[in-house]
Amino acid sequence: MYNSKITGVGKYLPDNIVTNNDLKQWMDTSDEWIQERTGIKERRWIDAKNSDDTTSSMGAKAGKIAIERAGLTTNDIDFIIFATLSPDMYFPGGGVRVQDLLGMPTVGALDIRNQCSGFVYAISVADQFIKTGMYKNILVIGSENHSGGLERSTRGRGVTVIFGDGAGAVVMSQTKNNNEGVLSTHLHSEGKYAKELALEGPSTGRWVDAIMAENNPDDVSYYPYMNGQFVFKHAVVRFSEAIIEGLEKNNLQKDDIDMLIPHQANLRIAQFIQKKFGLSNAQVYNNIMRYGNTTAASIPIALTEAWEEGKIKDGNTVVLAAFGSGFTWGSVVIKW
């Protein structure tokens, strides 16, 4: 058996910065409300008129950087795993687009649909492929284009102000050293809460024909819905459980964590977790202030920034934890 380790990281954010005050052109909101409830100051939204960024193209750009930093070329990548809830097309998924955009050989491409937990699920899948020896180098991407599908009105403000666009990627490579790389992954779901955070239509359960036939101006089923407080309450519990599960599996204590990278759902959630575990500011990385919640992209973007800032070093214990729509949640413990 082999271990898998992260050998390269990369990120891509659209240029267009949308501040909290900018949102006021579409909805009744305030910088104060958004910062107090979420910690968000600004986010990146693709400027649809002047940019050709898509979920796949952003993922490809982040992936290219990760491959270069791993000291590899696209020819060395054996497999692509692409996590998103906002693919360019209903089908096919974004992984095949990345294979094409990066001019890669005809390697397999798998799409992961686990929303805010998507990247944690993707790392876990890549880890299993590498452990068994099936693949040596896997490109794992999380990318989201939320801005095109958010309701820019006061009706949609509870969801719209939170989400941002962007992409992050890692290369995971085989190592024969069983004491380094991914030490454990834990994945969970609780589908009875699927509708508490969901976008229901268009889908096979609520197809375009039905939406158009009803022509109901109050129909918001094609915009994301979130039962915010309900999600918040579950998030703080499940984040904690996932982190504890990862620590216990590896006989680690909370003091052993050099860097916790929580999915950037809400700064208040991350601060609650930090306080609960008694972690210092140096032990937790947050960048939701600048990017909002980028769902499957949030962990790889934060991981990349933390690494670029020299906050993750060889030998560090890095914990990734996520919770989101599904509900789904999970954790990854890494010896960097």
Whole-angstrom Cα distance, residue 269 to residue 262?
9
Taking CB under 6 A as the rule, does residue 41 contact ligand ACO? Answer: no
- Assess contact for 210 and 299: CB atoms under 8 A: no
β partners of residue 175: 3
Does residue 116 carry a catalytic annotation? yes
- Assess contact for 203 and 194: CB atoms under 8 A: no
Choices 30-38, 62-70, 100-108, 245-253 (CB under 6 A): range interacting with ligand ACO: 30-38
Whole-angstrom Cα distance, residue 195 to residue 90?
20
Residues 140-199 that bind ligand ACO (CB under 6 A): 157-158, 161-162, 197
Q: List the one residue from 3, 55, 266, 331 that touches ligand ACO (CB under 6 A).
A: 266
Residues 192-211 that bind ligand ACO (CB under 6 A): 197
Whole-angstrom Cα distance, residue 201 to residue 53?
24
Q: Which is nearer to ligand ACO, 141 or 267 (CB)?
A: 267
Q: List the one residue from 15, 19, 21, 33 that touches ligand ACO (CB under 6 A).
A: 33
**Least distance from ligand ACO to the Cβ atom of residue 269, Å:** 6
Question: Which helix (H) or strand (E) element contains residue 268?
Answer: helix 267-277
Whole-angstrom Cα distance, residue 150 to residue 159?
8
* Residue of 116, 146, 186, 234 with catalytic role: 116
- Assess contact for 291 and 164: CB atoms under 8 A: yes
Query: What does the DSSP 8-state code read for residue 146?
Result: -
Taking CB under 6 A as the rule, does residue 231 contact ligand ACO? Answer: yes
By the 10 Å C-beta count (0-12 exposed, 13-18 middle, 19+ buried), 302 is classed as buried
Q: Which is nearer to ligand ACO, 115 or 124 (CB)?
A: 115
Taking CB under 6 A as the rule, does residue 38 contact ligand ACO? Answer: yes
Q: List the one residue from 7, 174, 295, 331 that touches ligand ACO (CB under 6 A).
A: 295
Binders of ligand ACO: how many residues, by CB under 6 A?
Answer: 24
Q: How far is CA 284 from CA 49, 117, 123, 171, 320, in A?
A: 37, 18, 20, 22, 10
**Least distance from ligand ACO to the Cβ atom of residue 168, Å:** 16
Q: Which is nearer to ligand ACO, 147 or 295 (CB)?
A: 295
Q: Which is nearer to ligand ACO, 181 or 292 (CB)?
A: 292
* Residue of 234, 263, 266, 287 with catalytic role: 263
Taking CB under 6 A as the rule, does residue 265 contact ligand ACO? Answer: yes
- Assess contact for 288 and 40: CB atoms under 8 A: yes
Phi, psi of 75 (to 5 degrees): -70, -20
* Residue ranges binding ligand ACO (CB under 6 A): 29, 33-34, 37-38, 115-116, 157-158, 161-162, 197, 228-229, 231-232, 235, 265-266, 269, 293, 295, 324-325
Residues with a catalytic annotation lie at: 116, 263, 293
